[in-house]
Amino acid sequence: MANFNDRTTMGGANSTFQTTCWAKIFDAKTSDETRKRLIINGLIDRYWKPVYCYLRRKGYNNNSAKDLTQGFFCEIVLGRELIQRADRGKALFRTFLLTALDRYVIDMHRRETANKRSPTGKILQLDNINLPEVPRAASDLTPEQGFHYAWVSDLLDQILSEVKDEYFSLGKGVYWEVFYARCVAPIMANTKPPSLTEICAKYGIEERTKASNIIATVKRRLGSVFARSLQRYVPPNSDVEQELSELLRNLPGKGAR
């Protein structure tokens, strides 16, 4: 079993008992076919959308991008055992995957094959998935930026959903609603954030200080869940701050600093 760098202090706040993406990848180097397939399917589930968005930004139409996505995962990820060749000490898995994808696209273009790149025994049933259109807001992105855009969007959706569920499961849905109204909704809807006075009136909170504390509490929790989620995708001995800088750098505009 991999002796991956588990920086765990038993029961400590920075416990990394959770299985990192890299640990899963290493575990995919197993002769147990059932386990390998399950792990790889999990990774494909996480990365198919960024791959598809990358291809759309490359200029492929919906059907071609779909075929190439399926072809990439089947021929390269599974067929050439890409995951097993990944070196977790060297780079982010995302970077590694993107490099392989880039090469695959170049190779496909070179071959100029007319055959439908839809392998038998599809491992990815994209036919039944409502494939996303690359949004207008992201239409100027390079293919690499498109890949990162889709990846970041999925990550944000996941952690926002997770924190929302947490607060509702604790009977504190109003905490989430207050935070969302003040911090997230204005970004999503491109509107001015409501004032604390307006928040208090809408959600029946006695005073502005309390509303402010609620917002800070949820923000802190979001940060903690975000850090935990991101930790899964960095190689050992890298830190989350570095990964965050990398994510921001790959988003054009304000993000690229």
Residue among 59 and 253 whose Cβ is closer to other proteins: 253
Kindly tell me which of 71 and 145 has the beta carbon lying closer to other proteins. Answer: 145
Unique residue bearing structure tokens 């919906």: 62
Please provide the DSSP assignment of 3-39 as one string. Answer: -------TT-TT---SPPHHHHHHHTSSS-HHHHHHH
In this complex, which beta carbon is closest to other proteins, that of residue 41 or of residue 118?
A: 41
DSSP tag of 135: P
Q: Give the nearest distance from C-beta 197 to other proteins in angstroms.
A: 14
For 66-122, give the DSSP string: HHHHHHIIIIIIIITTHHHH--TTTS-HHHHHHHHHHHHHHHHHHHT--S----SS-
**Please, which residue, 113 or 195, has the CB nearer to other proteins?**
195
- Residue among 50 and 235 whose Cβ is closer to other proteins: 50
Quick one: DSSP state of residue 195? P
By C-beta, is 71 or 243 nearer to other proteins? 243
In the complex, minimum distance from the CB of residue 160 to other proteins, in angstroms, rounded to a whole number: 6
Contact 17, 4 (CB under 8 A): no
Contacts of residue 117, defined as CB under 8 A and 6 or more positions apart, other chains included, come to 67, 68, 70, 71, 108
The CA distance from 227 to 166, in Å, is 16
Task: In angstroms, give the least distance from the CB of 105 to other proteins.
Answer: 22
CB of 184 to other proteins, least distance (A): 7
* In the complex, minimum distance from the CB of residue 42 to other proteins, in angstroms, rounded to a whole number: 6
Name the token pair of 74: 């089947």
Helices (H) and strands (E) in the chain, counts: 11, 0
* Closest to 54 in 3D by CA, of 134, 131, 144: 144
112/206 with CB nearer other proteins:
206
Whole-number Å distance between alpha carbons of 82 and 25: 10
* CB of 108 vs other proteins, minimal distance in Å: 26
Minimum distance from CB of 156 to other proteins (Å)? 5
